[in-house]
Amino acid sequence: MSARRHAAAVARAALAVAAAAVVAAPVVRAQDPLAAVRADEARRVALVARCAPAVCAVMAMDEPGGGSGVVFDARGYVLTNYHVVGEPDPKWQPPQPPALPDTDLQAFRAQHPAADDAAVAAFTARWQDEWRREHAPRGRRHYRNKKVGLPDGELYEAVVLGIDPGSDLAVLRLLPKHAGQTWPHRPLGDSDAVRAGQPALAMGNPFVLATDFAPTVTFGVVSGVHRYQEGQGNRMLVYPDCIQVDAPVNPGNSGGPLFDERGDVIGINGRIAVGDRGRVNVGVGFAIASNQIRNFLGDLMAGRHAEHGTLDLSAWRAGQDRQQADPTLRGVYVQQIFKDAVAAAAGIGLGDELVRCDGLALRSPNELARQIGVLPAGAWVELAWRPRASEGFGALREAAVRLAALDTGSSRDGGGDDARLASADERRRARDAWLAQWPARDEPADAMVTWRVVAPEGFVVRALRHGERLRRDRGGFDWTDLGDARVDNGDGSDGSGFASDGNSPTMRDLTADERESLRRERACNPLLWPSTTVRARLAEALLLGGVHVLGAPALRFALPGDGGCEAWFFLDGTPAGCAFRDPVRKARVEWHVRGSAVRVVFDGKAQAGWRDSQRDVTAAEPALFGRPQ
Amino acid sequence: MSGSERTRAALLGCVLAAAANAAVAPQAPQAPAAAATPAPATQLERTIALRQPSVVKVFGASGLQTIRPYCAGVVVSAQGHILTLDQILLQPERTRVVLHDGSVHQATLLPPEPQLGVRLLQIDAAKVEGGLQPLWPERERFDRTGQFVVALGNCFRLAEFEEANSATFGVVVGRANTALRHRLADVAYDGDLILTDAAINPGQEGGGLFSLDGRWLGLNMKSLAAKETNTLLSAAIPVADLLPYLERVVRGQQAPEPVAVAKEPAWLGVVLFDKAGRQSPPAYVERVVAGSPAAALGLRADDLIVRLDDFSIRTCREYRDVLARFAAGAKVQLVWKRGQQVQQAQVTLGKEPAK
């Protein structure tokens, strides 16, 4: 009560000062201490007005209750909690194709005037198969569409695209009410820049209050960052690296956004800590950090069941629980490890001291759990450890370890790329959504791209590309040059390329495998693409999922044709590498490239020693291509 | 909560904008061990970062389900003294202190201070890398209603090793004297508590309550709970009131003698119908001593004493506690009930005649 009186007093004082300011000189107004309060309040009101249109209420089609969500992309992509989405529909059936449209039928009859009923039926079946390929998702377990209410008062139907039970996330797509519809949205912010004490707005639909879908706003400060919250509830949803906030977060806020003072989404509110009084807010809410969300966004928008990574070990530190504090034992030690753990395969054993993970010195088991918990399965981490010896610990060892998939015990269909994937139509939309976000690039299409990487043996592997010409050499020798079959080079090459072995002046034709290997690399390695050509080259590609490239989330685009060709891009559109089946190496080759860092993976095995990636874009030098004279 | 929530929302501009330029700006803290910690940008963020190293995590004995084996503490000396609330979890050999750098230290327990409900622990300062960052209370309490505060502590044991304490933000909503709720609340301290709307959850008790510019206001208490309304109220002991104790124990000084003249216990001259037992009975008068202030007032047997000045009296024990606050010669307003009638009068308390 006294606080309320105080507020009233302040308000009165504000009025008095405001009244005085009208007649006084502007200098007085500038010194008014409440001007800052009013200015800040106006800023906050404007901020809420800017954020609110993107906050939505997520409900099941025919059940009470619901949660919240936020539109993070103009094309209607919504982030919410997995636990808001609920269970897959056991009666889910793939969508059935509509009747053949009259226009297609008439076009067919016009082309085939003699077609009988059987031919028309065959045509109809072909058309419907094509429709299914385009519109039916892969996998058996899918969700019924959700109802999503937006603050403009409109209720939309939304498709549940991807789910991430490991970090309690799901992505929905709003179905437009008219072609080309876009929605107000707020971008994901940088949660690693969040500081304890900074203001934060939680928005959503607590207690399903908003019958008109206008979100509830609660305000507070960030109480802590990088909180590790172990699994809770019957689905054991782990919050490995969340933001703790003292803004009231209540049941129904689940899936709603936590905004920073710029209006960027720094987290998705999903969990609260409660005291003795049951499930009510006590000023301790947890939001899934936006940078963790980014790590799974590729998988989620491609319709996957995102999988989290694990080292299959647990760690322990002296001083935990009832252990006596021994200052000499400050390290983090392996407490339990599976025999078939990926870490065990790298040589880590029980009792070893874990020293660093991805370059960060480990101070506690939670720190390791946080770092691993935000990574998808298949991500590589650099571990440094000291093996336990009879006296103390041995010399420091280091290895790159590829994270295994964590079994979240939920509705996973099974492993592999085909387990659950959105329809081709959805994956094409997802590709377009990303392409629309990427900034315009300026490398001209006729520029020559040179990409150099230093191989473990110390020589430079170089690839040069100009138009459809691609030439590779190793340390200046062992050339292979893929000609452009469409062009008459006029230099003696027959358009199908040539090779030179070692320092030999003798040119020979490419083998079929060499030619195919070069073709695939040309098709899928975006490091060799002038940036202005990216959109055109991805025109037939579909979003396939996410991949973690040297510490940053990236997107995999599946390119049409043989060889499992994938072009990889970071979320901002810069090239991140590629993957394809290489007939020369007889392996699936992955190039992970970030800045000058490189990781090469053959059939899931990291090849040590590759380094110093360098990409240059220059004017074309035609003399570099073609058979040397 | 809702009233102060509104206040907080209305006033937060001060914290985030205007107060960022406050005159008393604490120095930026030393760079923490973790690599990529973003630099604090506002006054509140700076204060949190500045005071984190002085607030420690305390882990102790568990046992009963109702006892949480964790709380927080505040470093009060470079020799390793740590101030916290006196709680069952603090057991010899079982109490560990975790500093902000994640280092774990075995703590020895110093004798509790039952009058204040606080306790000092001590860790071996020689084993602390980089030294401790002690705080010391100011001599005068300076909490003002409406003042912004931040509470630091390890709520719900969210922090285990190097992880930071939780920081919750709010305003001082007033002061409250808990003497009236003696034994009803889990409060030994009987001065005026600082009440705040900043959330103080289990595990944050023993941590620090700080003003926006980083001055140490209070030692976080367990929330005061009202069973009737199922509400909790965050409170803190003003650390200025802990200064004599800290000076005596930590710095080996004698508490300054109270400047007031030697106080003679006040005497009203009633014998209450008291009986031994766990529940102290209501303060019914059994007999009135002849010639006493009570007799002059006309008090008689079976009157029920219900109030002395601002203090309501529900039991014989409360009557004794409240009476002990006054000295002989004090003028007080006495309220009593006779049958269904409430009566009151001013009375000058006397001095008990020598027997």
Give residue-wise pLDDT tens across range A138-179: 888 889 999 999 999 999 999 999 998 888 999 999 999 999
Q: Which residue has the higher pLDDT, B164 or B266?
A: B164
Average the pLDDT over each of A223-232, A258-267, A444-453, B177-186 and give the range with the smallest value: B177-186
Two tokens at A493?
């090459």
The mean pLDDT of B226-237, rounded to a whole number, is: 84
Two tokens at A159?
């498709």
pLDDT attached to residue A6 = 41
d(CA A117, CA A123): 10
Q: Which residue has the higher pLDDT, A326 or B35?
A: A326
Across chain A, mean pLDDT equals 86
Contact A521, A580 (CB under 8 A): yes
Contact B85, B206 (CB under 8 A): yes
pLDDT attached to residue B176 = 86
Two tokens at B100?
């902000």
pLDDT attached to residue A414 = 55
Which residue in B has a C-alpha nearest to residue A330's C-alpha? B103
**Torsions phi, psi for B172 (to 5 deg):** -70, 125
Contact between A224 and B159 using a beta-carbon 8 Å cutoff = yes
pLDDT attached to residue B257 = 42
d(CA A465, CA A615): 11
pLDDT attached to residue B21 = 35
| Percent of chain B predicted with pLDDT > 70 | 82
A438-624: which CATH architecture? Clam (2.50)
pLDDT attached to residue B28 = 37
pLDDT attached to residue A14 = 39
Q: Which residue has the higher pLDDT, A321 or A226?
A: A226
Instruction: Please tell me if residue A42 touches chain B, with a CB cutoff of 8 Å.
Output: no
Contact between B104 and A319 using a beta-carbon 8 Å cutoff = yes
Task: Provide the whole-model pTM.
Answer: 0.81
Two tokens at A611?
């380094």
pLDDT tens for each residue of A101-115? 999 999 999 999 888
Q: For an interface test with B, which of A10, A43, A282, A322 has the most B Cβ atoms less than 10 Å from its Cβ?
A: A282
Instruction: Please tell me if residue A190 touches chain B, with a CB cutoff of 8 Å.
Output: no
The mean pLDDT of A416-437, rounded to a whole number, is: 88
Which strand (E) or helix (H) includes residue A523?
Answer: helix A512-524
The yes-or-no verdict on residue A216 having pLDDT over 90 is yes
Residue that has been written with the tokens 């709720």 in this structure:
B181
The yes-or-no verdict on residue A328 having pLDDT over 60 is no
| β-pairing verdict for B104-106 and B311-312 | unpaired
Task: Show the 3-state SS of A77-104.
Answer: EEEECHHHHCCCCCCCCCCCCCCCCHHH
pLDDT tens for each residue of A41-60? 999 999 999 999 999 999 98
Q: Measured between beta carbons, which residues in chain A are less than 8 angstroms from residue B162?
A: 363-364, 367
The mean pLDDT of B18-27, rounded to a whole number, is: 35
Average the pLDDT over each of A502-506, B322-326, B329-333 and give the range with the smallest value: A502-506
Q: Measured between beta carbons, which residues in chain A are less than 8 angstroms from residue B4?
A: 3-4
**Nearest residue to B87 (alpha-carbon basis) of B97, B95, B79:** B95
- The count of other CB atoms within 10 Å of the CB of residue A48 is 17
Give A84's strand partners. none
The yes-or-no verdict on residue A347 having pLDDT over 90 is yes
d(CA A345, CA A623): 49
Model confidence at A61, pLDDT cuts 50, 70, 90, reads confident
pLDDT attached to residue B181 = 57
Task: Show the 3-state SS of B194-221.
Answer: EEECCCCCCCCCCCEEEECCCCEEEEEC
Strand order in the sheet with A542-549: A542-549, A552-558, A566-570, A575-582, A587-594, A597-602, A605-607
Q: Measured between beta carbons, which residues in chain B are less than 8 angstroms from residue A221?
A: 44, 167-169
d(CA A522, CA B225): 70
pLDDT attached to residue A12 = 37
Contact between A366 and B171 using a beta-carbon 8 Å cutoff = no
The yes-or-no verdict on residue B260 having pLDDT over 50 is no
**Nearest residue to A314 (alpha-carbon basis) of A330, A333, A336:** A336
pLDDT tens for each residue of A183-208? 999 999 999 999 999 999 999 998 88
Instruction: Tell me what ipTM this predicted complex has.
Output: 0.83
pLDDT attached to residue A598 = 96
pLDDT tens for each residue of A560-604? 988 999 999 999 999 999 999 999 999 999 999 999 999 999 999
Average the pLDDT over each of A22-31, A230-239, A360-369, B138-147 and give the range with the smallest value: A22-31
Across chain B, mean pLDDT equals 82
The mean pLDDT of B89-95, rounded to a whole number, is: 84
Range(s) of chain A covered by CATH 2.50.20: 438-624
Model confidence at A628, pLDDT cuts 50, 70, 90, reads low
d(CA A598, CA A612): 7
Window A:479-538, CB contacts with B under 8 Å: none
Range(s) of chain A covered by CATH 2.30.42.10: 311-405
Instruction: Please tell me if residue A219 touches chain B, with a CB cutoff of 8 Å.
Output: yes
Contact A363, B33 (CB under 8 A): yes
Contact between A40 and B127 using a beta-carbon 8 Å cutoff = no
Two tokens at A274?
């409660």
Chain B closest-CA separation from residue A219 CA (Å): 7
The yes-or-no verdict on residue A26 having pLDDT over 60 is no
d(CA B52, CA B48): 6
pLDDT attached to residue B310 = 76
**Nearest residue to A79 (alpha-carbon basis) of A146, A5, A178:** A146
The mean pLDDT of B75-90, rounded to a whole number, is: 92
pLDDT tens for each residue of B151-163? 999 999 899 889 9
Instruction: Please tell me if residue B33 touches chain A, with a CB cutoff of 8 Å.
Output: yes
d(CA A211, CA A215): 10
The mean pLDDT of A50-76, rounded to a whole number, is: 91
The yes-or-no verdict on residue A8 having pLDDT over 80 is no
Look at the alpha carbons of B215, B217, B218, B224 in this order and tell me if their dihedral is positive or negative.
Answer: negative
Q: Where are the domains of chain B?
A: 1-20+32-257, 270-348
The mean pLDDT of A353-364, rounded to a whole number, is: 92
pLDDT attached to residue A437 = 92
CA torsion A521-A527-A533-A539 (nearest 10°) is 60
d(CA A165, CA A176): 27
Angle between helices A117-135 and A424-437 (to 10 degrees): 50
pLDDT attached to residue A236 = 60
Give A381's strand partners. A401
Which residue in B has a C-alpha nearest to residue A324's C-alpha? B106
Q: What is the DSSP letter of A175?
A: P
Contact B250, B244 (CB under 8 A): no
The yes-or-no verdict on residue B10 having pLDDT over 50 is no
Cα A427-A519-A500 angle, rounded to 5 deg:
160
Look at the alpha carbons of A476, A479, A482, A483 in this order and tell me if their dihedral is positive or negative.
Answer: positive
A2 vs B38, B145, B198: nearest CB = B145
The contacts of residue A625 (CB under 8 Å, 6+ apart) are A464, A466, A469, A471, A481, A489
The yes-or-no verdict on residue B1 having pLDDT over 60 is no
d(CA A368, CA A374): 10
pLDDT attached to residue A33 = 74
d(CA A492, CA A269): 65
Longest dimension (CA), chain B: 78
Residue that has been written with the tokens 């918990």 in this structure:
A373
A282 vs B7, B127, B201: nearest CB = B201
Q: Measured between beta carbons, which residues in chain B are less than 8 angstroms from residue A223?
A: 166-169
B1-20+32-257: which CATH architecture? Beta Barrel (2.40)
Model confidence at A300, pLDDT cuts 50, 70, 90, reads very high
Distances (CA, A) of A292 to A82, A366, A405: 15, 16, 16
| Percent of chain B predicted with pLDDT > 90 | 45
| Percent of chain A predicted with pLDDT > 90 | 61
DSSP string over A265-297: EEEEEEEE---TTSSS--S-EEEEEHHHHHHHH
Distances (CA, A) of B206 to A125, A556, B71, B97, B220: 74, 51, 6, 12, 5
Contact B249, B119 (CB under 8 A): no
Two tokens at A452?
């150099």
Instruction: Please tell me if residue B167 touches chain A, with a CB cutoff of 8 Å.
Output: yes
Contact between B201 and A284 using a beta-carbon 8 Å cutoff = yes
d(CA A80, CA A85): 8
pLDDT attached to residue A496 = 62
Class of domain A311-405: mainly beta
B270-348: which CATH architecture? Roll (2.30)
pLDDT attached to residue A235 = 56
Instruction: Please tell me if residue A33 touches chain B, with a CB cutoff of 8 Å.
Output: yes
Residue type, A620: A
DSSP string over A527-548: GGS-GGGHHHHTTT-EEEEEEE
Instruction: Please tell me if residue B201 touches chain A, with a CB cutoff of 8 Å.
Output: yes
The yes-or-no verdict on residue B165 having pLDDT over 80 is yes
Q: Which residue has the higher pLDDT, A232 or A532?
A: A532
pLDDT attached to residue B274 = 79
d(CA A558, CA A138): 15
Model confidence at A11, pLDDT cuts 50, 70, 90, reads very low
